Homo-oligomer: A and B are copies of this chain.
Amino acid sequence: MLPPADLLASRHLTVRRALETLGLVRLLVTRLPNVRWLTGFDGSSGEVLIEPDRVVLIVDGRYVESAEALACHAGDVIRVERVEQTHDETLATLIAGSTAPVGFEAADLSVARHLWFQASLTGRGWDAGRLRPTADVVESGRIVKDSWELDLLREGGARLSAVTLGVLADLRPGVTETSVAQAVEAGLRRAGFDGPAFDTIVASGPRAALPHGRASGRPIGRGELVVLDLGGIYGGYCVDLTRTIALGDPGPDARAWHAAVLEAQSAAIAAVAPGRTPHDIDRAARQVLDTHGLGPRFTHGTGHGLGLEVHEAPRVGPPRADAAGVPMTGTARLPDHLVPGMVFTIEPGVYVPGRGGVRIEDDVLVTVSGVEVLTNVPRTLVLD
């Protein structure tokens, strides 16, 4: 499944505009999901060099055939460059082919690779000071999904919901967490997913207090809280869903936690609209849990963006103080506010160590008029 050629061209335009605001016309893209978004290339190794007149996709011998097919599909906007020695040798040769400064992705390029480029380019008589750290250039385009991406995310959300319904319907006391995880993964394959987006979380009884409790050999008991958090990759795009259920009455405390989390999630979903900020959405969930005295039990952010990565922008959480020290002048601007086309999770939770926990998660799309929920599974606590 390849993005249509006109959408690829439109993505290139978006990124070139973001680059221009940083005073650049060339960008070395080393982050694989960014490479994929710009070209459709989904191999395990490859880079893009954005040049003023073309987008160069750099791959080694293993991927030349499939990369050429992509380039052909994209018309003449993508050119494939084959690696002869190493990727970085090829990249250094391309970079040194023009004197124009080159931005690089500072959050992806390692210090070791950067030192190598500096030495190699200097050795070629290229002023390594023209290698400029940047941040969020491609991400500033990826944060708003285009129509092709939204089709995949909608379809992925619908299929993930169907898989979840099937797994919940088969749940019986005595089955182990691992066998539930296996049923999820078999279900994802049958439903046409590329694979799971992450290790399926099945956390029952006291393990439900572990926000990231991978499936264990523990059998699920009657009346226990079970957190089931599953994700699938559909056509390259990640969707993510959590339900917390109990096979039989889990008791008054657990019922109260579930009711509070459900109320918090509903409030956060209702708060989604263009112009609001991700922090507003987080605050909506947090305030509800605070009123129930459960604020301190909500130990993570409310959500995260979905797309080619299962965690991407926007981060839906409280404002962070830590960005202050970053001396990065080459940072592209991510929208502060919600914009139609953003897709993210809303997943408040409550965790009580030693006793259990509850999390409820759905995926939402910001629309012109407000919000569209992409996942659809009853948020019932007690299954009989």
Contact = CB atoms under 8 A, between A and B. Distances in A.
Interface string A313-335: 00000001110011110000000
Contacts of A109: 110-111
Given A212-B62, A325-B123, A112 B135 contact: yes
B110 A110 contact: yes
Nearest to A66: B210
Among A61, A104, A112, residue most surrounded by chain B Cβ atoms (within 10 Å): A112
A353 interface: yes
Contacts of A85: 320-322
A326 B120 CA distance: 8
B186 A195 contact: no
A353 B89 CA distance: 25
Interface in A13-71: 43-44, 61-63, 65-66
Nearest to A122: B325
A119 B325 contact: yes
A133 B106 contact: no
Nearest to A42: B214
Nearest to A88: B322
Given A62-B210, A186-B186, A327 B110 contact: no
B123 A62 contact: no
A199 interface: yes
A148 interface: no
B62 A299 contact: yes
Interface in A296-353: 299-300, 320-322, 325-328, 353
A111 B88 contact: no
A94 interface: no
Given A110-B107, A186-B186, A327-B115, A212 B135 contact: no
Given A111-B111, A116-B327, 16 more contacts: A43-B212, A44-B212, A62-B210, A62-B299, A63-B212, A65-B209, A66-B210, A85-B321, A86-B320, A107-B111, A110-B110, A112-B326, A115-B326, A116-B325, A119-B325, A185-B185
